């Protein structure tokens, strides 16, 4: 924060509290005395929370523990599948966070002890915290589809819903598919990470096939009856990929029409629901989801498989002094998106800074923005502004919504594609830079 020091930040971010006096933060020595934060998980929510805590208050000791030395963004990974981008372009390391004075530890967290306020890792290290921020992202419910498991996903049938080697595996399968072959995509039930993602993936694969394998087909088998940006996607598919005609490259089957998948036969390259069997030359199954593994180990989840939180601070309603941000949290009406995780990470960071300084958590403000690319020159978006009211996160009436689609505005759609690419540059820099 240029032109502004920490003190003026604390004063302004803690508006409305009488406690924002010098006495609340003067006596603490640097680190070790009641101002230690451990962040578990270095994805979109965790990394931005760690960075912003350090931006707001350099006297707080922040350790971020992440299992992988690099992070691949889920958003924009569909453009790697279509070959528009390289995998390297969605890869981010943690040197930026180190530059903010975050202690980055590459290790796997194996346990969080809420009573002892301590985090343990696979290599045997132990980290004490005053407040812990858990941002583990998602895990898959492989058991919902007979015959599908992690081993199958790693060898033949991708989920490609955590980016990295899965992304390039699906890309290579699509690019080497026989002429006129069929890509089957199974889309998951709600709630799941990145609601428009399966449909942008469909669009990006169609964009590739239209150029390189124009007689190929994409069959989208959906657990649901409708999906995010439905009108914009299906409208775009009509415009670019013949959707709705006999010659359509894309067919979408809703849940009640047989789209719900129950089993996978890997050898036969077939998925089955209770109505039909579907054969594919490439099969991509995006499974049903739940909070990331460590959230379950730490007892932060409820019966839904996700983590209940308080929306002003993102503190767990199960364990005190532990906050959960990003896809793992029950943050509705905020979606499980990268931008929402970014917004949540900052609200949580401000709350943690205030609480560690003896103040009450400041009033939050949250935003979601999300771009998808249907075809070259055709970008679409959705946005929403949220506030905290009467103990809940609420949408601000009259704000947000979708790209206007009454008429196909060429100028707007071209610009939205480029705004989407800038969005990518800035959100990744805001998180990891």
Partner 1 sequence: MIRKTIIKSTLLVAGFALGMQAQAAPSAEMLSYTCAGCHGTNGASTGDAIPSLAGLSSTYLVDAMKAYKADERDPTIMNRIAKGYSDEQFELMGGFFADQEVHKNRDQSFDAAKAAAGKKLHKKYCDKCHTEAGTVGDDDAGQLSGNAKLFLQYSLADFHDGSRSQEKKMKKKMKKMLKRDKDAFDLIVNYYVSGKK
3-state helix/strand/coil string of 104-129: EEECCEEEEECCCCEEEECCCCEEEC
Q: Which structure tokens are listed for 60?
A: 């707080």
Closer to partner 1 at the Cβ: 2 or 245? 2
Look at residue 315 and give its three-state secondary structure: strand
Classify 385 as helix, strand or coil.
strand
Residue 78 in contact with partner 1, rule: CB under 8 A: no
User: Is residue 399 a contact point for partner 1 (CB under 8 A)?
Assistant: yes
The residue among 196, 220, 101, 168 whose CA lies nearest residue 403 is 196
Is residue 21 close enough to count as binding partner 1 by CB under 8 A?
no
Minimum CB separation of residue 117 from partner 1 in Å reads 27
Which of positions 35-74 make contact with partner 1 (CB under 8 A)? 52
By CB under 8 A, tell whether 409 contacts partner 1: yes
Nearer to partner 1, 280 or 420 (CB): 420
Which residue's CB is nearer to partner 1, number 291 or number 349? 349
Q: According to CB under 8 A, which residues from 317 to 346 bind partner 1?
A: 339, 342-343, 346
Binding-site residue total for partner 1 (CB under 8 A)?
57
Site for partner 1 in 148-177 (CB under 8 A): none
> Does residue 28 bind partner 1 (CB under 8 A)?
no
Closest distance to partner 1 from the beta carbon of 18 (Å): 10
Q: Are 7 and 24 in contact (CB under 8 A)?
A: no
* 427 near partner 1 (CB under 8 A): yes
115 versus 407: smaller Cβ distance to partner 1: 407
Residue 233 near residue 379, CB atoms below 8 Å: no
Contact of 296 with 195, CB cutoff 8 Å: no
Q: Does residue 124 bind partner 1 (CB under 8 A)? A: no
**Which of 197-225 are b and which e, b meaning 16 or more Cβ less than 10 Å from the residue's Cβ?**
bbbbbbbbbbbbbeeebeebbbbbbbbbe
* Interface with partner 1 (CB under 8 A), residue from 226, 247, 390, 407: 390
Secondary structure of residue 151 in the 3-state scheme: helix
Q: Which residues contact 237 (CB under 8 A, 6 or more apart)?
A: 202, 203, 206, 243, 244, 248, 250, 374
- Closest listed residue to residue 347, CA positions, set 53, 31, 10: 53
Query: Measured from the CB atom, is 189 or 421 closer to partner 1?
Result: 421
Q: What are phi and psi of 190, to 5 degrees?
A: -70, 155
Q: Supply the minimum distance, in Å, between the C-beta of residue 10 and partner 1.
A: 10
Q: Quick one: 2 or 247, whose CB is closer to partner 1?
A: 2
For residue 360, give the DSSP letter.
P
348-387: contacts with partner 1 (CB under 8 A)? 350, 362-367, 369, 381, 383-387
Q: Does 311 sit near partner 1 (CB under 8 A)?
A: no
Rounded least distance, CB 54 to partner 1, Å: 12
Instruction: Enumerate the β-bridge partners of residue 37.
Output: 62, 131
Phi and psi at residue 255, to the nearest 5°: -50, -50
Residues that bind partner 1 (CB under 8 A): 1-4, 9, 12-16, 52, 339, 342-343, 346-347, 350, 362-367, 369, 381, 383-390, 396, 398-401, 403-404, 409, 411-412, 415-416, 418-419, 421-427, 429-430, 433
């Amino acid at each position: 924060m240029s032109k502004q020091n920490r003190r003026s930040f604390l004063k302004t971010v803690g508006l409305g509290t009488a406690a924002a006096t010098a006495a609340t933060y003067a006596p603490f020595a640097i680190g070790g005395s009641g101002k230690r934060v451990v962040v578990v998980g270095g994805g979109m929510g965790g990394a931005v929370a760690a960075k912003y805590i350090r931006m707001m208050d350099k006297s707080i000791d922040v350790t971020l523990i992440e299992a992988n030395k690099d992070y691949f963004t889920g958003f924009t990974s569909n453009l790697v599948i279509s070959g528009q981008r390289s995998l390297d372009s969605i890869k981010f390391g943690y040197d930026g966070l180190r530059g903010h004075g975050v202690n980055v530890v590459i290790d796997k967290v194996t346990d969080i002890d809420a009573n002892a306020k301590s985090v343990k890792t696979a290599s045997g290290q132990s980290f004490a915290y005053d407040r812990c921020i858990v941002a583990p992202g998602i895990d898959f419910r492989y058991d919902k589809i007979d015959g599908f498991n992690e081993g199958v996903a790693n060898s033949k049938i991708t989920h490609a819903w955590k980016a990295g080697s899965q992304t390039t595996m699906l890309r290579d399968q699509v690019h080497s598919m026989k002429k006129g072959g069929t890509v089957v995509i199974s889309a998951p039930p709600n709630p799941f990470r990145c609601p428009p993602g399966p449909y942008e993936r469909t669009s990006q694969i169609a964009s590739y096939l239209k150029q390189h394998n124009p007689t190929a087909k994409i069959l989208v088998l959906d657990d649901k009856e409708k999906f995010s940006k439905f009108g914009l996607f299906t409208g775009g598919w009509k415009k670019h990929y013949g959707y709705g005609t006999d010659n359509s490259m894309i067919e979408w089957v809703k849940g009640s029409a047989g789209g719900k998948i129950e089993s996978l036969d890997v050898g036969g390259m077939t998925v089955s629901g209770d109505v039909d069997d579907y054969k594919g030359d490439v099969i991509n199954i995006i499974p049903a989801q739940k909070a990331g593994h460590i959230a379950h180990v730490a007892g932060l989840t409820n019966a839904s498989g996700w983590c209940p939180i308080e929306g002003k601070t993102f503190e767990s309603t199960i364990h005190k002094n532990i906050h959960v941000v990003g896809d793992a949290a029950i943050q509705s009406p905020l979606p499980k998106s990268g931008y929402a995780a970014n917004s949540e990470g900052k609200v949580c960071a401000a709350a943690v800074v205030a609480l560690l300084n003896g103040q009450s958590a400041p009033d939050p403000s949250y935003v979601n923005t999300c771009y998808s690319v249907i075809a070259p020159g055709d970008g679409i978006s959705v946005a929403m502004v949220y506030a905290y009211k009467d103990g809940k996160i609420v949408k601000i009436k009259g704000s947000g919504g979708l790209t206007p689609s009454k008429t196909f505005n060429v100028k707007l759609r071209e610009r939205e594609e480029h705004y989407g690419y800038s969005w990518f540059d800035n959100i990744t820099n805001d998180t990891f830079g």
